[in-house]
Amino acid sequence: MLSLGLSAVLAPAPVPTRRATAGAYVRHLIGRARASRTDCLNVVAIFVGGRRADLSAAGVERLLKARGIVTGGDLQGRDRPATRGFASLLFARAMRENQGVLRTLFSSSEHYAYRHLEYLGLVPAGGSGTRISGPELAGLLSLANRRMAARHSDTGVPP
């Protein structure tokens, strides 16, 4: 009986599955040194879909395609490490940050999306090709939420 109690205490915590809550997923992400492209897609799904977003691969794909955030090429190589440029491109589309001449001309460019979000203070300097870490991605989610809340409080228009 005592051995069952100890094994329950000493057992490692389960890793969140794709159907995990948004909060559990972000807490898991904070402990990761490198974020994958799947992590970026999931965090953007949390950003646009809220806390109850379906984090299954099919649910994320369906949500982001319906909102016009991803194209077929964005969904390839999900297990590859993500870059700041990839995360910036997804967040710029999700936030509808298509302002400025360069963003209008190069709307699909990771580099120009990164430069725009860097200008807004949402991502640190270092280049669009730099791999993004889990804590950085979680921070980007937080800063993007703050920016959207401030934007809507100024205009009075809901998201």
The domains of the chain are located at 14-153
Quickly tell me which residue has 């090429």 as its tokens: 73
Higher model confidence: residue 118 or residue 105?
118
* Helix 134-155, helix 37-49: angle, nearest 10: 20
- The C-alpha atoms of residue 22 and residue 80 are separated, in whole angstroms, by 22
pTM for the full predicted model: 0.78
CA 84 to chain centre: 11
Task: Give the model confidence (pLDDT) of 41-68 as tens digits.
Answer: 999 999 999 988 889 989 999 999 999 8
Encoded amino acid at 76, one letter: Q
